[in-house]
Structures are given as C-alpha cells and as structure tokens.
Homo-oligomer: A and B are copies of this chain.
Amino acid sequence: MTITGPTTGDLREQRDRARREYDELLTRGLSFNLTRGKPSTAQLDLSQELLELPGAEGHTAADGSDCRNYGGLHGLPELREIFAELLQVPAGQLLAAGNSSLELMHDCLVHAMLGRLPGGQARWTDEERVAFLCPVPGYDRHFALCERFGIEMISVPMTDEGPDMDAVERLVAEDPAIKGIWCVPKYSNPTGVSYSDRVVERLAAMPAAAPDFRIFWDNAYAVHHLTDEEVEVADVLAACAEHGHPDRAFVFGSTSKITFAGAGVGFFGSSPANVDWLLAHSSKRSIGPDKVNQLRHVRFLRDAEGVRAHMRRQRALLQPKFEAVQRILDKELGGTGLARWTEPEGGYFITLDILGGGAADVVRLAAQAGIALTPAGAPYPYGKDPRDETIRIAPSYPSPQDLEEAVTGLAICARLVGYERALAR
C-alpha cells in the first residue's frame, strides 16, 4: 500500500493558515498556565470542611493521645489505617508524615547518602558512583532530586505497560552502581501509563547487582481515576517479598491531589526493616508530624470508601477537562500526522508528542502567545528530550473555558511548527 503524503503546496497552505491563526492568537493577550498538576479552586472546595476541622473539642486520637502535643513519629494510626488499603501497604508498615511525599523521597535519598540502607555495604556518599534508572518521559521533580545529589541518571524507555523491562533487567543485573529506579506505577506522570502485573513481577523478581537497590514507587495517583476503568496495579511490596527481596521497594503517596495540595499528608510504606531505618533517621529530625492535620483528614475522609467517594467528586470535575483536551487535539491536530497524544484513564497529565521534533519551538511560541507550558524536555533527565518531542499538558488548574482556549492555542503552535519543519525538510 502506498500512502501519498501532502504536496508542498498543501503544506504551504496549511502553514499559512496556522501562521494566520497564530498571529491572531498573539493579538489576544492571553495568560494561561498549563505548567503544573495543580488542583483547581473547585477541586480544593471539595475539601472545604477541613478548614474547620477537627473542631473545638476534637483533638483526641483513637488511642486517647492528644494530637496537639509532641510525639507519634509513625503518624496517626487511624489515618494510616485508611491509606493502608489504598496504597497497598500494611498499616503497621505505613508512616504518615508531613505535607508532601516529595519530602519523603528527598529524605530517603538523604538518609541513603548519609547512612547505610538495610542490605547496603556503604553510605552512598562513600560509593564511587551512584546511578538511578529513569523511565522516560518521567517526573521532572524526581530527576531534580537526582541532579541535586549528584546521582547519575540513566534513561530507560517507557512502554505502554511500564518501563522497558528488558533494558531494566539488563542494567540492574550488571551495574552495581545502579541503586534505584523511579516509578510512578499508576497513571504515570506524564504518560498516564499504568504498570502491568508482568512489569511489577519482573521488577520484584529481577536480580540486582547492588545489594541496596531500591524501587522508588511514587504511587501519586493511586486513587485518581478518570474513567470507570479503575486501574489496579499489582502490590509491589508483596511481590518483592515473595521474590525474596522484601526491602526492595519504597512506596510513597500523599493526599496532595486528594484534599489540599499544600496542606495534605504524605505517606511512606515499606518493609519493616526499611521503616525502622527511616524512623531511626527521622527520629533525629523530628519529634513527630502534624498529627492535628492527620486527625483533620481522618474526620473528613472517615475511611477508604470515604476517600473513594471523594475521588469520584474529583473525577467529576477533572474528567470533562481531560475530555475537552482530547476533543480539541482531535479537532486541531487529528489526521495531520504532526502529533500524537495520550488518552489517560487517570492521573493529572496528557502528553502531546510533536512527531519528528520541535517541542521546544512549540513551547516557545505558546509562551509568546501567553500560554505557559512545562519547559520542553522537563520530563527527561537534565531537561534534555533527545527527540525534542514531548510536551506535558496539565489540564487541572484552568477553568474549562480557559483550558479550551489554551489548548486550542497550543494546537495552533504545534501546527505552525510542524508545517514549518515539514517544509524545511
């Protein structure tokens, strides 16, 4: 079968049309922000009750302790109970901490740099080389942590069921400097991919040259469904234990995109040995987390079913925005051959791939038109997208109308860049 491509004349016509549309865009003085996965005001309003909780007489935990006072380094048992089920971590092995899971990931790296991990032979600062596998595209803040601590980043490609496990297995088996891998197992940032059971199995089972190899399992979107297909990812702690690697996985989660993005609760779950290790280090740092905020969350969310019900209300606000992005991209870019994009079933992002490159140009043009996007390259180590293809769209924060205008504008930029490049070839 032969496919006839567009003629140069066709391309020029398309380019000119995109140019006119872009020029018109410039006149409109837009100011939109699609950069970060920030909840919208309407989403935050869903948790408004938190602002008055736990209430005047409500400072006592289930065990009778006073949440206002010092102590309780593990976090509030009743909150850990609620999230144990949702994060697939036994409550006894789950810690509830401060207002972000990123902090916990940072601190796990710090404690591994400055103190030996269970199974490890040296502090990472005393190793000649420390490297992490980075499935790409991935989450820029993970990569920023590696960069900050001088941890070498080795990219591995994402497939539609998780990282390319042939590459992962080979690298981890042969290189003892590889101490970890970043994973966002469900509705991955930014691709929306969820890990298949087979991938989780292989991650748990694979031999690792480093005795202190860790999976940083950032389950940021554990309950953040966008469709009725509520994806379940296999239980990584159980799988690791089953395969004789009980200390392999660090599980992270938070309520940042459940309740308040800035005033939620972060969680860490792992094997008893890893939990003891983290507690031993964090006991030097803190006398305990903000248990009043944890109690506030217990009063508001009540139980795991309460969280699920709350997330259905979140979905009702988010799903139409994701659908709008799909609709606009279909309309503006469908059939052009210039781009492809993900249709995630959950999480916070859509990735738009500019085929054949030019993502940085698209982001630059969009910025000039007042549409702020995450820098092209951000989802790659050191901010360098080797194909210059990936653009991350975060649809949550803008109002539906703003989102529509912003994505339309972005698509115009993609067309303009795409046709310019096609003509230049």
Q: Indicate if A285 sits at the interface (CB-CB under 8 A).
A: yes
Q: Indicate if A378 sits at the interface (CB-CB under 8 A).
A: no
- Residues of chain A from 270 to 302 with CB closer than 8 A to chain B in the complex: 281, 284-293
Stretch in contact with the other chain, from A63-71, A171-179, A352-360, A399-407: A63-71
Question: Which of B262, B286, B292 contacts A68, CB < 8 Å?
Answer: B262
Instruction: Knowing A55-B51, A66-B44, A293-B293 are in contact, say whether A102-B286 is a contact too (CB < 8 A).
Output: yes
Stretch in contact with the other chain, from A5-13, A141-149, A187-195: A141-149
Contact B99 A110 (CB under 8 A): no
* Minimum C-beta distance from A142 to chain B (A): 10
* Minimum C-beta distance from A81 to chain B (A): 19
B-contact bits for A369-412, CB 8 A (1 contact / 0 none): 00000000000000000000000000000000000000000000
CA distance A53 to B55 in the complex (A): 9
Interface size in chain A (residues, C-beta < 8 A): 58
Instruction: Knowing A56-B48, A67-B262 are in contact, say whether A99-B290 is a contact too (CB < 8 A).
Output: yes
The residue on B at minimum CB distance from A50 is B292
Q: Indicate if A261 sits at the interface (CB-CB under 8 A).
A: yes
Choose among A36, A99, A103 the residue with the greatest number of B CB atoms under 10 Å from its CB.
Answer: A99
Question: Which of B103, B281, B288 contacts A286, CB < 8 Å?
Answer: B103
Contact B69 A38 (CB under 8 A): yes
Q: Indicate if A128 sits at the interface (CB-CB under 8 A).
A: no
B-contact bits for A65-106, CB 8 A (1 contact / 0 none): 011111110000000000000000000000000111011001
Q: Indicate if A166 sits at the interface (CB-CB under 8 A).
A: no
Q: Indicate if A342 sits at the interface (CB-CB under 8 A).
A: no
Contact A103 B149 (CB under 8 A): no
Contact A68 B261 (CB under 8 A): yes
B-contact bits for A106-123, CB 8 A (1 contact / 0 none): 110010011100000000
Contacts of A115 in B (CB 8 A): 148
Contacts of A114 in B (CB 8 A): 110, 113-114, 125, 149
* Minimum C-beta distance from A113 to chain B (A): 6
Contacts of A141 in B (CB 8 A): 284
CA distance A285 to B287 in the complex (A): 19
Contact A262 B103 (CB under 8 A): no
Contacts of A125 in B (CB 8 A): 114, 125
Contact A285 B102 (CB under 8 A): yes
Q: How many copies does the complex hold?
A: 2
Contacts of A41 in B (CB 8 A): 66
The residue on B at minimum CB distance from A283 is B144
Q: Indicate if A306 sits at the interface (CB-CB under 8 A).
A: no
Q: Indicate if A39 sits at the interface (CB-CB under 8 A).
A: yes
Contact B70 A38 (CB under 8 A): yes
Contacts of A149 in B (CB 8 A): 114
Contact A145 B66 (CB under 8 A): no
Choose among A106, A125, A285, A290 the residue with the greatest number of B CB atoms under 10 Å from its CB.
Answer: A285
Choose among A55, A58, A125 the residue with the greatest number of B CB atoms under 10 Å from its CB.
Answer: A125
Contacts of A291 in B (CB 8 A): 262-263
Contacts of A102 in B (CB 8 A): 285-287
Contacts of A50 in B (CB 8 A): 292
CA distance A114 to B52 in the complex (A): 40
User: 16 A-B residue contacts at CB 8 Å?
Assistant: A48-B56, A51-B55, A51-B57, A51-B59, A51-B292, A68-B261, A70-B262, A99-B289, A100-B286, A106-B285, A106-B286, A107-B285, A110-B110, A148-B281, A262-B287, A293-B293
Q: Which 5 A-B pairs have the closest CB atoms?
A: A263-B292, A106-B285, A68-B260, A44-B68, A99-B290
